[in-house]
Structure formats: C-alpha cells, structure tokens
Amino acid sequence: MCGNTNWNSGIACVILAVMIIGSIVHISSETTEKNQNVLPGLLVSVLQLFSSYLIIVIYIITCCLASYYHQQWWIKTKQQMMVEKRQEQARWMQEQLALTPPPRMAGRP
C-alpha cells in the first residue's frame, strides 16, 4: 500500500472528504440544537473535530511522504544498479578483447 503513491493519495482524499462531510454534519447538528452564538460554537466545533482527526491526518501525510521518498530512493537505486551493470559489462568486454589475440593480416605469417 505504501509503495503506490496514487493509492495513498486516493486514501488521503477519501479520508479528508469523510472528515469534511463529518464535520459539516456534526456542526450542523450542533448549531441547530443550540441556535445561540453560532459562530463561536461553530469555530469550537471545527477545532475539536479537526484536532480529533489530527493523528489520522499526520499518519496519512507521513505515509504519503514515506511512499514518495521510498519511490525516489528505489528509482535512484535502480539507476545506480543499471550503471554498475553497464560498467561491469564494459570491463568484461575489455578483458575479453585483451585476452583474444589480434587478428592476423592476410599474407603475413
């Protein structure tokens, strides 16, 4: 799951949407019950709701960042492995050329 950045982004968006919808429903139910001092109550409700989701949000952000950096590390490692493989192949070819005797020219013994 953490290897696929698009998957993590999708999960983050779904959870964020659920948080927003949940906060709207929660706030609307609270404001209809109280109907007094709507703005301070609304602000307090939003802050309480989002503070309760803070750990989830931090986890999602951390997972997405870890996924991104792991993906970048893996790409760099893969590229480095390809470079080393090409260097090894070049060394092997040079060794093979050094081991083979030069071709004889026609007419010369």
Handedness of CA 75, 80, 84, 90 (dihedral sign): positive
pLDDT at residue 72 tops 80:
yes
Does the predicted TM-score (pTM) go above 0.85? no
Q: Model confidence at 81, in pLDDT bands (50, 70, 90)? A: very high
Query: What does the pLDDT average to over 11-27?
Result: 69
Query: What does the pLDDT average to over 59-84?
Result: 86
Dist CA 90 CA 95 (whole Å): 9
At position 14, the amino acid (one-letter code) is V
Dist CA 67 CA 98 (whole Å): 46
Q: What is the pLDDT of residue 2?
A: 46
Q: What is the pLDDT of residue 18?
A: 72
pLDDT at residue 33 tops 70:
no
